């Protein structure tokens, strides 16, 4: 069986920009000699798509479709129990460092996580393993936090290879410590799916996003295509596909023995301030409910053990919910 990690890597390489639009343009050029009109249309579509995805305004719109989490509410964060910092990739065999080092996304998260930790004083967990080879992310994150930022790390989770495993492996550490509320540090584009994964493990995570997109055009040059804008579009599209894949998996799981679809659903989660808690029918000892709005912002509704069956008022606005038994 093909490893899902390899399939994800292949998808990122061939479908997401810039390769995806370039392959589309190349296909159009190949077809011009056979189907001239269709070939030209496909080639121009690829070129214009790449151009559009490289413009700051398109990148900003895509990123805000993925997430609109505001900056961390420090006062609210003080009432949480721990800080979790997600890895975001490494640079392997960096010559200037004499070995593996943090990638720029992970370094941004580590720097912001250190700022949050110094401000609110909660214990820190770092999570991230090694996808193919090299030093696990979490080890490099810990070394950077403690050696460069002077922030101690209490827990190091170094086996996970993706966001889902980040949540599963982190929960294996946190739940025995009776920790169920955390401040989650990640990039804004990664936040909705990451929070959903942690919610599925019984951990409520308030967002501490970094890399929050700006929509302002300060100079005319800001409106021109750029590599940074293309990168923003890449991350936004990747998260959109990731959210779609996760939703498909939830729907597929809804018909299996381990979960079931409920006859009522919960209102949309607020996009600005995190999690709502509802009581739910005790379908299983550890049943959890994930609800989401149309922009893939998820929240965790209450644990089945914490209340009686109390479906919300049917007069409210609904979106789908799945009970995972």
Give 124-135 pLDDT, tens digit per residue: 999 999 987 789
Distance from C-alpha of 52 to C-alpha of 225, rounded to nearest angstrom: 8
Range 37-58 average pLDDT: 96
**Segment 243-302, tens digit of pLDDT:** 888 777 777 754 333 333 333 233 333 333 333 333 333 322 233 333 333 233 333 343
User: How much of the chain is helix, strand and coil, in % rounded to 5?
Assistant: 45, 15, 40
pLDDT, residue 222, reads 77
pTM of the model: 0.75
231 Cβ contact list (under 8 Å, min separation 6): 59
**Average pLDDT, integer, range 58-64:** 94
pLDDT for the residue numbered 134: 80
Please compute, for residue 246, the number of CA atoms within 13 A of its CA located in the half-sphere on the CB side: 23
Average model confidence (pLDDT) across the chain: 80
CA-to-CA distance for 260 and 250, rounded, in angstroms?
A: 10
- Among 70-74, 84-88, 179-183, 311-315, the least confident range: 311-315
Q: How far is CA 169 from CA 20, 166, 183, in A?
A: 33, 6, 16
Domains present along the chain, CATH in parentheses? 4-66+227-244 (no CATH), 74-210 (3.40.50.620), 254-325 (no CATH)
The pLDDT value recorded for residue 116 is: 98
Which pairing describes strands 288-292 and 298-301: parallel, antiparallel, or unpaired?
antiparallel
Give the pLDDT score at 2.
Answer: 57
pLDDT of residue 4: 67
Round to whole Å and give the CA distance between 42 and 40.
5
pLDDT grade, residue 3 (50/70/90)?
low
Lowest mean pLDDT among 201-210, 245-254, 304-313: 304-313
Question: Is residue 87's pLDDT more than 50?
Answer: yes
Q: What is the pLDDT of residue 214?
A: 82
Q: Is the pLDDT of residue 241 over 70?
A: yes
């Amino acid at each position: 069986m093909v490893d899902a990690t390899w399939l994800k890597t292949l998808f990122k390489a061939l479908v997401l920009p810039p390769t995806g639009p370039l392959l589309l343009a190349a296909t159009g050029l190949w077809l011009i000699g056979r189907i001239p009109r269709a070939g030209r249309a496909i080639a121009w579509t690829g070129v214009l798509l790449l151009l559009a995805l490289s413009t700051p305004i398109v990148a900003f719109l895509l990123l805000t479709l993925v997430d609109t989490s505001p900056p961390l509410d420090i006062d609210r964060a003080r009432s949480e129990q721990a800080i979790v910092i997600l890895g975001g990739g490494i640079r392997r065999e960096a010559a200037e460092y004499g070995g593996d080092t943090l990638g720029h996304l992970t370094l941004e998260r580590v720097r912001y996580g250190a700022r949050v930790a110094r401000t609110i004083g909660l214990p820190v967990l770092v999570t991230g393993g090694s996808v193919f080879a090299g030093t696990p992310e979490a080890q490099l994150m810990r070394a950077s936090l403690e050696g460069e930022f002077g922030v101690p790390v209490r827990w190091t989770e170094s086996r996970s290879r993706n966001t889902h495993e980040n949540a599963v492996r982190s929960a294996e550490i946190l739940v025995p410590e009776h920790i169920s509320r955390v401040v989650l540090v990640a990039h804004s584009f990664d936040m909705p799916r990451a929070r959903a994964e942690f919610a599925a493990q019984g951990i409520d995570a308030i967002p501490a996003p970094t890399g929050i997109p700006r929509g302002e055009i300060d100079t005319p040059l800001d409106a021109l295509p750029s590599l940074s804008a293309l990168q923003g579009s890449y991350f936004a599209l990747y998260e959109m596909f990731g959210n779609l894949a996760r939703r498909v998996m939830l729907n597929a799981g809804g018909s299996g023995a381990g979960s079931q679809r409920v006859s009522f659903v919960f209102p949309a989660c607020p996009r600005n301030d995190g999690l709502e808690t509802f009581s739910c029918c005790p379908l299983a000892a550890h049943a959890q409910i994930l609800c989401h709005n149309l922009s893939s912002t998820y929240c965790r509704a209450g644990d089945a053990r914490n209340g009686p069956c109390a479906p919300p008022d049917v007069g409210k606005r609904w979106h789908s919910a799945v009970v995972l038994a």
